[in-house]
């Protein structure tokens, strides 16, 4: 399987002097093309920081991150921005939408940067994605006129606009009720089935149980890795996947 | 807790806090200065008028006078405390010759008098009554200020030499707005001059109680006493003394209003941005039961700190400039007796600025009441709809680049926030364009024709000399024989008496000769062509109350000559009070003569000017450009400097405010910036969006500012130009400067400042600003 992201001995610290703390303390990790990987761990273990480092959104103190064969630390800001725009998608815990734009405009925003396609084609594509996500009727609404779950779908549609190779999700269901969370995970599963790699940060076992591989972080390091295998809804084994994962996590003695 | 909140907030927004403080300090300084000046000015005027014992009522009179009747009236009228009649000898400016120059070009009616005995004293610079000796002369203070003469210099009047013994303060005629100026000489010298000038009488009264002034004026008029001249009263003298420094104070107050407005705008901008930023927190505070007044206190405390420091700084700074601005008042009016009150009023002025700022902040904070805790906690942003942006959608944008679109859309979506910046830019554009247009108008080549000067190449002035007509004829003969001179004209100026409608007479200077050779522009009518026509300058027409077609009667050698006003023109020469006619007058009493000539080749101007100056030492030979420079070059120069200063000030305000707003916006919008960066927008994309915002606002500002400049500004400029004596002119706009260079300057500075001000946007870390 082709390696999409390779992180080698990543070191990232915050603070200075006595307050200095290694949030990522020599992390090495590989994400393969087409994988659905989740990162778990207690608060402050470095989950989100790892995601920001692997996506090139945040610099690292030492080590190396390679994305699709390119060493991110050697790239300039603009080159990183180009990669994020064309090859990556992001979904955050909060919808991170621009309040001055309506929902449709928020979704097409990253695609409009390049203007490679006709506006009507871009809009058409956005509408298709919105239809799939079940939010087509929201296109003209402002972002204060939709629910949290709906806004998270808006975020996912935006992440998909440029057909990214990978989607980074940081607690995408963290602010949602269980019904909305299930719907969002269903949507992400569909995207993964369509061939997109997904790296998802979560602390929710129910969410992680739906991913293929679980990385467990503790104190800035990867404490363990759990291979759950592909999740198939038709098998109805979610409960047992959750239990197995919970048992494994308990064994980690975090 | 307040201290911590304020400190953190100030540390986070150092630049904006500092700028707001600077504007508050400037406003406080100006208001304090204005207060100090007002108190000093009114105090100094009171001191001067008390020491000089200024008359409460003065009737100027020329012609025969019945002193006995006046004395009887004064004795009978119970309101009169003291009465006197002073003689004032009017002398033409050309007859008063200082060491360097004469007063021929003086716009003042200069005259001589002796020290009065009862009241209306002329004071020296220490505020004491002057005792003048024979051969000594005391000169009005305005001639000390303009450097015409100094103590110990000689002054020649009708060939008599006087030594300048000092300068005088005149409580009646000190002001430059008073058209007469009194020189003081001894009684013996006065007798000598008296025979050579025209006598005018100053009939003066001091009343027992000034409140009876109105009744006294009526009594004087109804008694049918001598009144061939203007009537002036104590309050008018006071106003005239106050007006020139009063204007300065008015300008300072106006500027301080502008600065206070800018300070308000800075505060409004910061506050609106802060409220938007803290929307959720404010909602939470309301939700947990804090009163609006409690929440307001946190914000009020910060501005109270900024305003207090700014006000103190401003008050301290006012001490630095105080003496400089008081110099003129001290020179013209002396020290004020209530100078110590001035400091107190300065403090009151500063307090007013402080209170105004606090009231304004309180007003802006009223919008806290409208914040719904539920909405704020749920959405974290204001639910206010922005009209006009609904149709302006990215998905419908076919024309603009995405960054430009986003920039413009942001401005439209947050009009309230950008309105502040817009207002500052409109003011800046206005400040740049109006003085520019004014300067272009008065410096344009054709403008001199509107100012009473024909367009010739060479001008020869013969004045302050004897046998003017012979000398003029000598030069004319030389010009006639000179093949390089294509045409010339000799104009002579003589003084005639003009009969007023009420029977009184006034003097008028008439320039005689052919006025068609080097024509000037006429506001109404045209040049005199026949012997019974006369053209009047605007000021003379106004003073004599004449229109084109009206009749006017001159007294020439005791004979009355009826003339018809054929034209009215603007004039800046000779105080603006001139007339032009072509009738022949054989009398020899020529005041001066001007010979204008045109050369066959312009390249000869310098050479010919030098040649004629060399050949005719008694005459002043100048090329016309030089003459224009001498006549109102200083005015043009001042306006040029003022317009350059205006450009500097306006650009500084533009730069400062744009920088401030951009830095503020970057801080405020860091979340949106982080989101956009996360989704692949580069730093240059972000900069492009900010540049679009500021340039969009600037363009609207320039358009509005230009519109305002060409309407309100033109009206204001018209008032200034009219004060030079020109009543009708075409406003000359240099389109290149007004519509290209200046706007371009603003655009370039805004661009540079925006790029500089948004550098921080590049340093915004996505991970730090997209907090989960």
Tell if the CB–CB gap between B395 and A104 is shorter than 8 Å: yes
Q: Please determine, for residue B518, whether its predicted confidence score (pLDDT) is greater than 60.
A: yes
Q: How far is A86 from chain B (nearest CA, A)?
A: 8
ipTM of the complex: 0.81
- Nearest CB partner across the interface for A119, out of B383, B397, B680: B397
Tell if the CB–CB gap between A58 and B767 is shorter than 8 Å: yes
Provide DSSP, A78-141: HHHHHHHHHHEEEE-SS----TTS-HHHHHHHHHHTT--S-HHHHHHHHHHHHHHHT-GGGTTS
Tell if the CB–CB gap between A92 and B772 is shorter than 8 Å: yes
pLDDT tens track for B670-701? 888 988 998 889 888 999 999 999 999 999 99
pLDDT at B639 (0 to 100): 73
Mean pLDDT of chain B: 83
Closest-CA residue to B450 (of B641, B628, B593): B628
Tell if the CB–CB gap between A86 and B770 is shorter than 8 Å: no
Size of interface A-B (CB pairs under 8 A): 99
Task: Lay out the sheet containing A3-14: strands in order across.
Answer: A21-32, A3-14, A62-67, A70-71
Tell if the CB–CB gap between B394 and A108 is shorter than 8 Å: yes
Q: B746 phi and psi, to 5 degrees?
A: -65, -40
* For range B9-37, the mean pLDDT: 83
pLDDT at A6 (0 to 100): 95
* A109 shares contact with chain B (CB less than 8 Å): yes
Chain A residues near residue B415 by CB distance under 8 angstroms: none
The SS3 call for residue B702 is: helix
**Residue spans of beta strands (DSSP E) within B4-93:** 57-62, 80-90
What residues in chain A have per-residue pLDDT under 50? Answer: none
Burial A46-80 (b: 16+ CB within 10 A, else e): bbbbbbbbbbbbbebeebebbbeeeebeeeeeeeb
Burial category of B438 from C-beta neighbours within 10 Å (exposed 0-12, middle 13-18, buried 19 and up): buried
Tell if the CB–CB gap between A97 and B675 is shorter than 8 Å: yes
Closest-CA residue to B612 (of B482, B470, B424): B482
pLDDT at A67 (0 to 100): 94
Q: Please determine, for residue B351, whether its predicted confidence score (pLDDT) is greater than 90.
A: yes
Q: Of B538-552, B560-574, B695-709, which one has max mean pLDDT?
A: B695-709
Chain A residues near residue B397 by CB distance under 8 angstroms: 112, 119
pLDDT at B384 (0 to 100): 54
- Nearest CB partner across the interface for B402, out of A48, A112, A144: A112
Kindly indicate the confidence band of residue B772, based on its pLDDT and cuts at 50, 70 and 90: very low
> B630 Cβ partners below 8 Å, 6+ apart?
B622
B25 alpha carbon, distance to own chain's centre:
24
Count other Cβ atoms within 10 Å, centred on residue B708.
17
Name the β-bridge partners of A200: A38, A169
Q: How far is A1 from chain B (nearest CA, A)?
A: 27
Residues B758, B270: Cα–Cα separation, whole Å: 17
Interface test with chain B among A45, A51, A105, A146, by most B beta carbons within 10 Å: A105
Q: Closest residue of B to A77, CA-based? A: B682
Q: How far is A159 from chain B (nearest CA, A)?
A: 8
The CATH class of the A3-94+166-251 domain is: alpha beta
Kindly indicate the confidence band of residue B714, based on its pLDDT and cuts at 50, 70 and 90: confident
Q: Closest residue of B to A97, CA-based? A: B675
Contacting A with CB below 8 Å, chain B residues are 379, 381, 383, 389, 393-398, 401-402, 409-410, 413-414, 672, 675-685, 762, 765-767, 770, 772
pLDDT at A179 (0 to 100): 84
Q: How far is A224 from chain B (nearest CA, A)?
A: 24
Helix axis angle, B742-757 to B415-443, nearest 10°: 150
Contact B122/B52 with Cβ under 8 angstroms? yes
Q: How far is A237 from chain B (nearest CA, A)?
A: 31
Q: Please determine, for residue B720, whether its predicted confidence score (pLDDT) is greater than 70.
A: no
Query: Which DSSP category does B370 fall into?
Result: G
pLDDT at B533 (0 to 100): 94
pLDDT at B557 (0 to 100): 78
* A119 shares contact with chain B (CB less than 8 Å): yes
B24 alpha carbon, distance to own chain's centre:
25
Q: How far is A3 from chain B (nearest CA, A)?
A: 23
More confident residue, B92 or B297: B297
Chain A residues near residue B683 by CB distance under 8 angstroms: 77-78, 81
pLDDT tens track for B260-309? 877 887 788 778 777 877 887 888 777 777 788 888 888 888 889 889 99
Closest-CA residue to B509 (of B76, B107, B142): B107
- Nearest CB partner across the interface for B675, out of A48, A98, A119: A98
**Domain extents in chain B:** 1-59+228-384, 82-210, 388-445+631-772, 466-617
Residues B264, B32: Cα–Cα separation, whole Å: 18
Contact B61/B228 with Cβ under 8 angstroms? yes
Q: Please determine, for residue B476, whether its predicted confidence score (pLDDT) is greater than 50.
A: yes
More confident residue, B455 or A216: A216
pLDDT at B119 (0 to 100): 93
Q: How far is B700 from chain A (nearest CA, A)?
A: 21
């Amino acid at each position: 399987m082709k390696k999409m992201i390779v992180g080698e001995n990543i070191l990232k610290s915050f603070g200075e002097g006595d307050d200095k703390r290694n949030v990522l303390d020599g992390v090495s990790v590989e994400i393969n093309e087409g994988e659905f990987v989740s990162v778990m761990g207690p608060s402050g273990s470095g989950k989100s920081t790892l995601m920001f480092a692997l996506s090139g959104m945040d610099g690292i103190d030492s080590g190396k991150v390679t994305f699709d064969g390119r060493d991110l630390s050697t790239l300039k800001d603009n080159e990183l921005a180009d990669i994020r725009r064309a090859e990556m998608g992001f979904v955050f815990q909060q919808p991170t939408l621009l309040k001055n734009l309506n929902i449709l405009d928020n979704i097409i925003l990253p695609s409009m940067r390049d203007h490679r396609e006709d506006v009507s084609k871009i809009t058409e594509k956005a509408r298709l994605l919105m239809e799939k996500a079940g939010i087509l009727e929201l296109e003209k609404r402002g972002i204060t006129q939709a629910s949290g779950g709906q806004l998270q779908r808006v975020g996912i549609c935006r992440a998909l606009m440029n057909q990214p190779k990978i989607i980074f999700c940081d607690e995408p269901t963290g602010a949602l009720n269980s019904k909305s969370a299930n719907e969002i995970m269903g949507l992400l599963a569909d995207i993964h089935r369509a061939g997109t790699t997904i790296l998802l940060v979560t602390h929710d076992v129910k969410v992680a149980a739906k991913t293929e591989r679980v990385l467990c972080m503790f104190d800035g390091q990867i404490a363990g890795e759990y291979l759950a295998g592909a999740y198939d809804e038709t098998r109805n084994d979610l409960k047992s996947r959750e239990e197995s994962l919970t048992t494994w996590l308990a064994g980690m003695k975090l | 807790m307040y201290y911590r909140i304020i400190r953190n907030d100030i540390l986070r927004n150092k630049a904006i806090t500092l700028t707001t403080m600077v504007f508050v300090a400037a406003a406080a300084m100006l208001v304090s200065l204005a207060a100090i000046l007002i108190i000093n000015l009114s105090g100094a005027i009171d001191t001067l008028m008390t020491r000089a014992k200024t008359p409460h009522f003065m009737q100027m009179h020329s012609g025969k006078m019945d002193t006995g009747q006046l004395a009887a009236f004064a004795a009978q009228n119970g309101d009169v405390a003291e009465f006197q009649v002073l003689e004032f000898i009017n002398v033409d400016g050309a007859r008063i010759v200082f060491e360097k120059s004469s007063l021929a070009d003086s716009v003042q009616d200069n005259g001589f008098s002796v020290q009065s005995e009862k009241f209306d004293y002329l004071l020296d610079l220490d505020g004491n009554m002057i005792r003048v000796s024979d051969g000594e002369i005391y000169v009005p203070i305005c001639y000390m200020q303009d450097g015409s003469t100094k103590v110990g210099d000689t002054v020649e009047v009708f060939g008599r030499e006087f030594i300048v013994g000092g300068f005088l303060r005149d409580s009646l005629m000190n002001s430059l707005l008073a058209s007469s100026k009194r020189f003081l000489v001894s009684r013996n010298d006065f007798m000598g001059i008296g025979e050579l000038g025209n006598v005018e009488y100053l009939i003066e009264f001091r009343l027992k109680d000034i409140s009876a002034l109105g009744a006294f004026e009526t009594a004087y008029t109804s008694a049918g006493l001598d009144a061939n001249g203007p009537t002036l009263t104590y309050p008018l003298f006071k106003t005239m003394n106050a007006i020139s420094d009063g204007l300065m104070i008015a300008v300072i107050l106006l500027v301080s209003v502008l600065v206070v407005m800018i300070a308000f705008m800075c505060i409004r901008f910061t506050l609106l941005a802060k409220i938007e930023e803290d929307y959720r927190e404010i909602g939470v505070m309301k939700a947990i039961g804090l009163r609006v007044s409690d929440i307001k206190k946190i914000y009020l405390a910060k501005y109270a700190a900024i305003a207090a420091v700014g006000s103190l700084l401003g008050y301290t700074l006012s001490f630095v400039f105080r003496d400089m601005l008081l110099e003129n008042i001290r020179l013209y009016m002396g020290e004020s007796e209530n100078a110590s009150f001035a400091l107190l009023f300065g403090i009151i002025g500063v307090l007013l600025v402080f209170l105004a700022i606090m009231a304004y902040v309180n007003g802006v904070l009223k919008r806290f009441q409208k914040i719904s805790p539920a909405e704020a906690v749920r959405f974290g942003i204001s639910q206010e709809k922005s009209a006009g942006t609904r149709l302006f959608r990215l998905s419908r944008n076919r024309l603009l680049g995405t960054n430009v679109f986003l920039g413009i859309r942001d401005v439209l979506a947050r009009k309230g926030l950008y309105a502040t910046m817009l207002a500052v830019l409109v003011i800046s554009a206005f400040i740049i364009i109006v003085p520019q247009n004014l300067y272009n108008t008065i410096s344009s080549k054709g403008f001199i024709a509107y100012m009473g000067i024909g367009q010739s190449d060479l001008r020869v002035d013969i004045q302050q000399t004897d046998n003017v007509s012979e000398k003029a004829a000598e030069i004319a003969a030389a010009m006639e024989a000179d093949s390089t001179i294509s045409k010339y004209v000799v104009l002579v100026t003589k003084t005639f008496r003009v009969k007023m409608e009420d029977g009184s007479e006034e003097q008028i200077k008439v320039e005689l000769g052919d006025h068609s050779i080097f024509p000037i522009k006429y506001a109404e009518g045209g040049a005199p062509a026949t012997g019974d026509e006369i053209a009047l300058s605007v000021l003379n027409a106004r003073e004599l109350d004449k229109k084109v077609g009206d009749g006017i009667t001159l007294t020439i050698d005791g004979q009355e000559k009826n003339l018809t006003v054929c034209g009215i023109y603007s004039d800046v020469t000779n105080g603006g009070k001139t007339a032009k006619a072509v009738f022949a007058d054989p009398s020899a009493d020529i005041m001066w003569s001007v010979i204008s000539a045109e050369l066959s080749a312009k390249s000869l101007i310098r050479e010919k000017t030098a040649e004629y100056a060399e050949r005719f030492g008694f005459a002043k030979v100048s090329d016309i450009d030089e003459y224009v420079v001498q006549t109102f070059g200083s005015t043009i120069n001042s306006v040029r400097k003022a317009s350059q200063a205006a450009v500097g000030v306006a650009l500084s305000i533009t730069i400062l405010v744009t920088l401030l707003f951009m830095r503020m916006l970057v801080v405020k919008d860091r979340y949106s910036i982080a989101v956009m960066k996360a989704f692949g927008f580069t730093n240059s994309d972000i900069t492009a969006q900010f540049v679009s915002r500021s340039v969009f606002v600037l363009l609207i500002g320039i358009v509005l500012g230009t519109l305002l400049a060409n309407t309100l500004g033109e009206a204001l400029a018209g008032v200034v130009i009219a004060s030079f004596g020109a009543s009708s002119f075409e406003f000359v706009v240099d389109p290149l400067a007004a519509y290209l260079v200046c706007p371009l300057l603003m655009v370039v500075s805004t661009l540079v400042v925006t790029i500089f001000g948004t550098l921080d946007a590049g340093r915004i870390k996505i991970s730090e600003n997209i907090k989960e």
